[in-house]
């Protein structure tokens, strides 16, 4: 069993769709250290959650972000804060002013079981567009990849191409080899 630390049900849905192991959601508000490096943030969170929650099953923390090329990778590691404050629609309005609307999502899955610490990363390129679709979560409605926004994809379709899907695939391979 894997304990997946997140308040975001969308992440759990995608992880369950991908992993053979049982995925249990735990809500633990780990300290998000300030860093430009998603891996560092996620690993720190995984260690803290493992130490503080007292369980024995391995912990996974997933840290993700949207990086918009024309504005220096913003909002990047601050994506959750920007979603809460500006909102997804306003991020689109900022991108709309730019000729270059390329962006990518990145995801780091950090694993810690009390002994082994590992990170797995995934990224996906796309283009920002006016919001379309009502699946997925977060920035999915404004992120288009090969003609569809991620909010227009099923969980399975999104996992097949997404940053999280790619990170989870590496994680699943690593788990299977242990």
Complex with ligand ITT: residue 85 or 114, whichever CB lies closer: 85
**Contact (CB, 8 A) for 15 and 25:** no
Catalytic residue (one of 36, 57, 63, 134): 63
Complex with ligand ITT: residue 3 or 164, whichever CB lies closer: 164
Complex with ligand ITT: residue 147 or 178, whichever CB lies closer: 147
Residue with smallest beta-carbon separation from ligand ITT: 138
Per CB under 6 A, residues contacting ligand ITT are 6-8, 11, 62-66, 79-80, 83, 105, 136-140, 150, 162, 164
Eight-class DSSP state of 150 = G
Mapped onto helix, strand or coil, the DSSP state of residue 39 is: helix
Shortest reach from residue 177's CB to ligand ITT, in Å: 26
Shortest reach from residue 54's CB to ligand ITT, in Å: 20
**Contact (CB, 8 A) for 92 and 142:** yes
Mapped onto helix, strand or coil, the DSSP state of residue 127 is: strand
Distance CA 48, CA 40 (A): 12
For residue 63, indicate whether it is catalytic: yes
Residues 6+ apart with CB under 8 A from 74: 67, 68, 82
**Residues belonging to the active site:** 63
């Amino acid at each position: 069993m894997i304990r997946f630390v997140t308040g975001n049900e969308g992440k759990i849905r995608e992880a369950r769709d991908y992993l053979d192991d049982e995925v249990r959601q735990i809500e633990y508000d780990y300290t998000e250290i300030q860093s430009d490096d998603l891996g560092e943030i996620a690993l720190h969170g995984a260690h803290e959650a493992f130490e503080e929650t007292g369980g024995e099953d391995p912990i996974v923390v997933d840290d993700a972000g949207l990086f918009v090329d024309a504005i220096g990778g913003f909002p990047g590691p601050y994506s959750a804060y920007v979603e809460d404050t500006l909102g997804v629609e306003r991020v689109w309005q900022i991108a709309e002013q730019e000729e270059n609307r390329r962006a990518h999502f990145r995801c780091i899955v950090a694993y810690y079981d009390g002994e082994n610490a590992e990170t797995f990363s995934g990224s996906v390129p796309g283009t920002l567009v006016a919001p379309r679709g009502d699946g997925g979560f977060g920035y999915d409605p404004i992120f288009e990849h090969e003609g569809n926004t991620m909010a227009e994809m099923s969980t399975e379709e999104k996992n097949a191409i997404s940053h999280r899907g790619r990170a989870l695939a590496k994680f699943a391979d690593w788990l299977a080899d242990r």
